[in-house]
């Protein structure tokens, strides 16, 4: 008869053997821009993968082999379905899983405080179906302490001894949709665990699907690492956006300045201004640390200032549009304005926190007649905060000429910039795409 230590050893060896032989069944909870690529990666290397999502429409699409994410083709999805991948809304599927990866949103509430309701709801839904010997890894970006303060007690409350008969890890997602240089496989992955054995289990799992796995000493280090990555971007984007406004007052082209500075082979990294920041990381994640830092009596001046500058950009862009129209003896009210690009970044179909939509709201409030062109988003989707009954406007010489102003907000590669340049009466360029100065081009 095995004693408790022997039983624990057997549980661990069973999990590790299954992972090594790729007979482990991997579950991914949350099938969005982070979870779905990861699920398909595990399926690609030979694991049986079960995706769990509360959105029945998404689940049905996936099981038909249809993708709802522009950067994932239906062809690549169909290759995994049903051989290696299936999706469900039923959390009881967790009882058949060996590893569970949680990729659910961690937004901010209206007070810019962390909203962990999706994480709590997911763990609570999984708890009745967890079993000994499983690995659970949280990937959702969050403040340092979330895994051990919020998730660990829930697992323990179900009677598990984490590090002995259950393994709990944190491995922050690092997805960059639309970036052809880095995939789920080639992007190095940070891994941590509540205990050494938890870390060992996480390294074994992710090592099967990710080219480079980087262990760190604790879940708090991993949580802080993810925040630092996004705060670094937020602060530098805030800096260059502020520089843009200074250069504008001085009549200096900020994009020429950046190109010149980039010739220095050391000590400078290029960041580019824009109409604001968007996506699921940069506008949100820094405030997770700001909120947590207050617990320790620390005021995060840099982080908050960068967030303030970046959040002002949509209004600044609208001010530049107003100035440009005024030069044409027109006002925003009643003007026909075409928005080029409504996704938060180029070459994706993701509208989350998109500054383009903020600009559209401000223009609509001032009486503009709006249209948009975005080859990645054929119909403006239903959103909680924004309401536009619009569809994608194809770009033609005749159509462009109808607008009083064309505003470049997201510089998709699919746009015909020569056509835009030649056919538009007035262009407000927030991305520095039109390098040569022209009378009808205004930088914003």
The domains found in the chain, sorted by start residue, are 4-221 (3.40.50.720), 237-443 (3.40.50.720)
Q: 356-405: per-residue pLDDT in tens?
A: 999 999 999 999 999 999 999 999 998 878 889 999 999 999 999 999 99
The residues near 198 (Cβ < 8 Å, ≥ 6 apart) are 135, 162, 163, 167, 168, 169
- Percent of the chain at pLDDT above 90? 88
In 251-337, alpha helices (H) = 254-261, 285-294, 301-326
Supply the pLDDT for residue 4.
54
Supply the pLDDT for residue 179.
81
Our answer to whether residue 281 is catalytic in this structure is yes
Spatial distance between the Cα atoms of 353 and 369, rounded to a whole number of angstroms:
22
Supply the pLDDT for residue 437.
75
- The model's confidence at residue 10, banded by pLDDT at 50, 70 and 90, is confident
Mean pLDDT in residue range 122-136 = 97
Q: 174-204: per-residue pLDDT in tens?
A: 988 778 888 999 999 999 999 999 999 999 9
Spatial distance between the Cα atoms of 137 and 206, rounded to a whole number of angstroms:
10
Q: 155-178: per-residue pLDDT in tens?
A: 999 999 999 999 999 999 998 877
Q: 271-330: per-residue pLDDT in tens?
A: 999 999 998 888 899 999 999 999 999 999 999 999 999 999 999 999 999 999 999 999
Spatial distance between the Cα atoms of 403 and 426, rounded to a whole number of angstroms:
8
Judged against a pLDDT cut of 70, whether residue 124 lies above it is answered with yes
- Per the CB < 8 A criterion, the answer to whether 241 and 274 are in contact is yes
Burial of residue 402 (CB within 10 Å: 0-12, 13-18, 19+) is middle
Q: 199-246: per-residue pLDDT in tens?
A: 999 999 999 999 999 999 999 999 999 999 999 999 999 999 999 999
Judged against a pLDDT cut of 60, whether residue 2 lies above it is answered with no
Backbone angles phi, psi at 102, to 5 degrees: -100, 120
The residues near 75 (Cβ < 8 Å, ≥ 6 apart) are none
Spatial distance between the Cα atoms of 100 and 137, rounded to a whole number of angstroms:
6
Supply the pLDDT for residue 236.
96
Mean pLDDT for all residues in the chain: 94
- The model's confidence at residue 7, banded by pLDDT at 50, 70 and 90, is low
Supply the pLDDT for residue 178.
77
The encoded tokens of residue 420 equal 């835009």
Spatial distance between the Cα atoms of 306 and 308, rounded to a whole number of angstroms:
5
**Centroid of chain to Cα 436:** 33
Backbone angles phi, psi at 52, to 5 degrees: -120, 130
CA-CA-CA-CA dihedral for 304, 309, 312, 318, to nearest 10: -170
Give the sheet arrangement for strand 427-429, strand by strand. 369-373, 336-340, 405-408, 427-429, 441-443
Residue of 103, 191, 198, 281 marked active site: 281
Spatial distance between the Cα atoms of 87 and 60, rounded to a whole number of angstroms:
8
pTM, two decimal places: 0.91
């Amino acid at each position: 008869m095995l004693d408790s230590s022997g039983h624990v050893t057997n549980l661990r060896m069973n999990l590790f053997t299954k992972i090594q032989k790729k007979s482990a069944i991997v579950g991914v909870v949350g099938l969005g821009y982070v979870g779905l690529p990861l699920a398909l990666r595990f399926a690609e290397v030979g694991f049986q993968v079960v995706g769990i999502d509360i959105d029945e429409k998404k689940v049905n699409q996936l099981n038909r082999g249809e993708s709802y994410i522009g950067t994932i083709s239906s062809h690549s999805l169909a290759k995994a379905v049903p051989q290696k991948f299936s999706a469900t809304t039923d959390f009881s599927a967790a009882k058949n899983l060996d590893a569970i990866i949680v990729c659910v949103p961690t937004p901010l509430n209206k007070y810019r405080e962390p909203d962990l309701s999706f994480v709590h709801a997911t763990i609570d839904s999984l708890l009745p179906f967890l079993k000994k010997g499983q690995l659970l890894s949280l990937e959702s970006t969050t403040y340092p302490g979330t895994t051990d303060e919020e998730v660990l007690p829930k697992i323990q409350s179900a009677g598990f001894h984490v590090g002995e008969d259950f393994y709990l890890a944190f491995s922050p997602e690092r997805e960059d949709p639309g970036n052809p240089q880095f995939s789920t496989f080639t992007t190095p992955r940070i891994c941590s665990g509540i205990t050494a054995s938890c870390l060992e289990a996480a390294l074994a799992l992710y090592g099967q699907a990710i080219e480079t796995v980087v262990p760190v000493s604790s879940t708090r280090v991993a949580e802080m690492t993810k925040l630092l990555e996004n705060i670094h971007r937020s602060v530098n984007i805030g800096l260059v956006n502020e520089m843009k406004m200074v250069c504008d007052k001085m009549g200096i082209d900020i994009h020429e300045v950046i190109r010149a500075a980039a010739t220095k082979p050391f000590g400078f990294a290029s960041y580019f201004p824009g109409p604001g920041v968007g996506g699921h990381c940069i506008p949100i994640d820094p405030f997770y640390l700001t909120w947590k830092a207050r617990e320790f009596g620390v005021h995060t001046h840099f982080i908050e200032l960068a967030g303030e500058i970046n959040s002002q950009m949509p209004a600044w862009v609208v001010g530049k549009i107003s100035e440009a129209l005024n030069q044409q003896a027109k006002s925003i009210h009643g003007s026909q304005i075409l928005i080029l690009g409504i996704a938060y970044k180029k070459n994706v179909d993701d509208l989350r926190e998109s500054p383009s939509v903020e600009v559209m709201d401000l223009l609509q409030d001032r009486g503009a007649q709006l249209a948009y062109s975005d080859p990645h988003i054929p119909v403006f989707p239903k959103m909680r905060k924004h309401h536009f009954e619009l569809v994608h406007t194809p770009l033609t010489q005749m159509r462009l000429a109808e607008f009083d102003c064309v505003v470049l907000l997201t510089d998709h590669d699919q746009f015909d910039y020569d056509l835009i340049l030649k056919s538009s009466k007035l262009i407000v360029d927030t991305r520095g795409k039109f390098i040569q100065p022209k009378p009808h081009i205004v930088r914003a």
